[in-house]
Amino acid sequence: MNASSGPVPIAPAVLEAIPHGLRYRLADVLRLLGDEPSDLLFERLRRLQAEGAGWLGAAPGLADVGYWMIEPARAAEVRRRGCIWLTLFPGEDTARRLATVACDPSAPLPVRDQAVWSLGYRQARTAHPSVRWSDAAVAIADDALIAIAATETARGAITLEQLPLALRHVDHAGLDRLIAAAPALWGEAIECFLGADAARAVWARFADLGDGHRLRAMRAVTAALGAEAIPLLRAGAAEVSVDERLERHCLALSVGGEAELGPLEDELRPLQYADTWRQRARWHLAHPGVIPTVRGLRVARTTARLAAADRAAACAGAADDLGALTAFARHPEHYLYTMWGWMVRGAGDPARARALVSAHPESQKLVRDLYLRDLASRGRVKQLTAAAQSLAGADVGAFWLAVHGRPLAALELAATARLQTPELVAARALGAYRAGRADLAARVLAEDLPPSEIVDDDALPPFPGPHERWLTERAPDERPARTALVRGRDALLALAEPAPAGAEPDTASLDATAALLRRLGRGLPGSTVYLAGEFQHMDRGAIERGVEAAGARLVNGPFPGTDYYVHGDWCVVTTIAQLERQGARRLRHADLEVIP
């Protein structure tokens, strides 16, 4: 496979930094880039970046793809997507090229808008650990963003919608001056980076800020000024809502200490919901000088500036900060839960995922795998089963149940999974073994492994393929189930842990074991069969008659839930991969006598 087939030549040495499956998908995208822009190109590019972000950044040479895409001769949507692609490669050259696009008044507005966002985006999220913004690259990006913001300030209107949000990542004196000059214009940009002079200017024109900016501005001003903010917070408090007055009192308490308890208590005395605010006051007294959302966001906005070794600890602290005040009330700004969720992901901590979900159940999807692992490690079988079903994570939930000593519940949940993933197969094998059926575990590992990733157009390799072996060597902790399956039975059994103290009892029924036995039995009566691909030499009619004689039913597409498929003389590899990921198994001569 040669990923250079397309408009952008990619050296083989560059490709060696990414796993084989991504090399194949990259080659497909590059081929499409050489044609007219299409929805197919954009969808495959989106999926490649979304699913491959954890590795693509390990190959800095792939920035050349983005550089080609953002050239002025390209279609506007190709250029915009190129700006997105370049978020994975935040070097000095990338910053300069994006700055050129962002500052070009002749470029289409959506392209400039995306270039602006890419210049500001300093979050690591799922990027490869080697992806890091250098100080030099940040300086180039900041200079461009501030220059653009200065032009917008002079115009008195913001034409690039992403600019204020991009500026939330910027800690620069030039931005402070612009905010000080026009606080109302840049209200959306006021969040976690604000200097003292800008903070004073913002407060002087606080009444001009829209309602959606006031809470962020109050917190940013207090964080910037410390005790100096106390008289500012008191001024005009009688003219604002009760909730805003209480927020002001708590912020004053955070930087002024116990001396500010009296004014807060005077405000609380007639209120019925005073206890919650008193609890928050105690938190501020225990954490003097801390405005937790501001401190947490300063980390969340700059994780890609941190050394890889420092990110997990920083994310853990930021997650705690972003969740601190939710013990007393929900965040009014929904995006804070998203930022909190990414900090939990960066910390890789199941317990912190539990805290997030407890405060904001809607965040389950963002931290799904960590949350399911936490439930299994605490023996919450019923809660895990329900969550796994609602989050389309039956395979992951079943795997962690099997690891944490609830094998029958694991097999029962696994029976509901829709995709044949490494987690599902590991759950079946480990669950069967721990349920006393070592024979079934051995058969799963011998006969019912997950499909490997596609690495070329010729055929789907047996598991483990080159992609899986490559990842097991370089990132064994990325997906423990996949690594265990590649390394074999002993590695899988080594994952087993005793059930936690106080765990809910295991499922009492053996039905799931029987269902696994039926799956491994490869019985044809009542099953569905798809004839995949072209049948030129094989006798399709004879195969159809044989399938029907065996009591099976033919289906006319690779639909989910199909039990078996027959591989024709030729079939596109993506169809076979789709079938096997959906759990369909290949029928061979021993299963149906008419198959050659």
Rounded to whole angstroms, the Cα distance separating 89 from 53 reads: 10
| Bridge partners, residue 555, by sequence | 530
Which phi and psi angles does 553 have, rounded to 5°? -125, 135
CATH of 522-586, one of 3.30.70.1250, 3.40.50.10190, 2.40.128.110, 3.30.70.1140: 3.40.50.10190
Which pLDDT value is given to residue 204?
95
At position 292, the amino acid (one-letter code) is P
Across the range 17-42, mean pLDDT stands at 96
pLDDT digits (tens, 9 = 90+) for 6-29: 788 899 999 999 999 999 999 999
Nearby residues of 204 by Cβ (< 8 Å), 6 or more positions away: none
For helices 261-268 and 274-286, angle between their N-to-C axes, nearest 10 degrees? 170
pLDDT digits (tens, 9 = 90+) for 82-94: 999 999 999 999 9
If pLDDT is split at 50, 70 and 90, which confidence band does 3 have?
low
> Strands 564-567 and 528-532: what pairing?
parallel
pLDDT digits (tens, 9 = 90+) for 240-277: 999 999 999 999 999 999 999 999 999 999 998 899 99
Positive or negative, the CA dihedral 238, 242, 243, 248 is positive
| Region of poorest pLDDT, from 78-92, 491-505, 543-557 | 543-557
Residue 523 clears pLDDT 90, i.e. is over it: no
Rounded to whole angstroms, the Cα distance separating 233 from 365 reads: 38
Residue 202 clears pLDDT 60, i.e. is over it: yes
Report whether 341 contacts 154 (CB < 8 A). Answer: no
Which phi and psi angles does 528 have, rounded to 5°? -115, 145
For the chain, the domains span 1-170, 191-366, 372-493, 522-586
Residue 406 clears pLDDT 60, i.e. is over it: yes
If pLDDT is split at 50, 70 and 90, which confidence band does 590 have?
low
CB atoms within 10 A of CB 26: 27
Which pLDDT value is given to residue 1?
41
Longest C-alpha distance within the chain, in Å?
90
Report whether 41 contacts 66 (CB < 8 A). Answer: no
Nearby residues of 110 by Cβ (< 8 Å), 6 or more positions away: 76, 77, 80
Which pLDDT value is given to residue 273?
87
Which phi and psi angles does 531 have, rounded to 5°? -90, 110
Which pLDDT value is given to residue 237?
85
pLDDT digits (tens, 9 = 90+) for 313-346: 999 999 999 999 999 999 999 999 999 999 999 9
CB atoms within 10 A of CB 161: 13
Residue 553 clears pLDDT 70, i.e. is over it: yes
**What percentage of residues in the chain have a pLDDT greater than 90?**
92
Q: To 5 degrees, how large is the angle CA 346–CA 352–CA 355?
A: 140
Which pLDDT value is given to residue 236?
85
Buried b (16+ CB within 10 A) or exposed e, 455-464: beeeebbebb
User: How large is the C-alpha radius of gyration of the chain?
Assistant: 28
Rounded to whole angstroms, the Cα distance separating 255 from 226 reads: 6
| Region of poorest pLDDT, from 411-415, 436-440, 520-524 | 520-524
Which pLDDT value is given to residue 127?
97
Rounded to whole angstroms, the Cα distance separating 247 from 252 reads: 9
Rounded to whole angstroms, the Cα distance separating 292 from 300 reads: 12
Report whether 394 contacts 417 (CB < 8 A). Answer: yes
Beta strands in 113-208 (DSSP E): none
pLDDT digits (tens, 9 = 90+) for 340-362: 999 999 999 999 999 999 999 99
Mean pLDDT of the chain: 95
pLDDT digits (tens, 9 = 90+) for 93-112: 999 999 999 999 999 999 99
Q: Is 571 helix (H, G, I), strand (E, B) or coil?
A: coil
CB atoms within 10 A of CB 178: 20
